[in-house]
Chain A
Amino acid sequence: DAKTTQPPSMDCAEGRAANLPCNHSTISGNEYVYWYRQIHSQGPQYIIHGLKNNETNEMASLIITEDRKSSTLILPHATLRDTAVYYCIVSPVQGGSEKLVFGKGTKLTVNP
């Protein structure tokens, strides 16, 4: 599985956009990019995923570079409740089963 590199921590002001980067330079053509987050002591929560096109849902936007070697998760208007650890994961779909390998993620702190 491809490895990902994320900054260990980031800060963001409440109401501003939070842009979380992720490098995945060894990603393969059949691997997707997933983003999850984990709010303190809770189970991880799915945010968004993509293959090569940019994606948007009610929580966030995912921007994937054309060469697919990096991506950015954007929280358009961060709130205090978005303070969490954000995980960028790349994983293939193997036989219909998604096996997600979590790294250490980025600790995002949203400040008032």
Chain B
Amino acid sequence: NAGVTQTPKFQVLKTGQSMTLQCAQDMNHEYMSWYRQDPGMGLRLIHYSVGAGITDQGEVPNGYNVSRSTTEDFPLRLLSAAPSQTSVYFCASHRGGSRFEQFFGPGTRLTVL
């Protein structure tokens, strides 16, 4: 299993540009999440999904959209990039119920100029 994969690894955007961060998992996990991590800070939850077709907001959802059309994929869209969205983005997946182990991807480092 590849686990959780994220693309791209690095990205530089100009203010106002849009882009999609890709996340995929091959573990058949129902739950997937997106987090951002700013320098010296812990992770903050952006959006999460409890299954295909179901998404919900986390702590810091503004400026981001998500959709979940398949179990495997959970893309994160930046609608109009702003410098405040410069961060490292992590995608995670896990099984629900009694499983508490979230598997994280390697991250996407995004810089917005």
Contact = CB atoms under 8 A, between A and B. Distances in A.
Interface of A: 32, 34, 36, 41-46, 49, 87, 95-105
Contacts of A36: 102
Interface of B: 4, 31, 35, 40-45, 48, 50, 58-59, 90, 92, 94, 96-97, 100-107
A55 to B, nearest CB: 11
Nearest to A98: B100
A43 B104 contact: yes
A46 B101 CA distance: 6
A42 B40 CA distance: 14
Nearest to B98: A93
Given A44-B104, A46-B101, A102 B94 contact: no
Given A34-B100, A96-B96, A98-B94, A43 B106 contact: yes
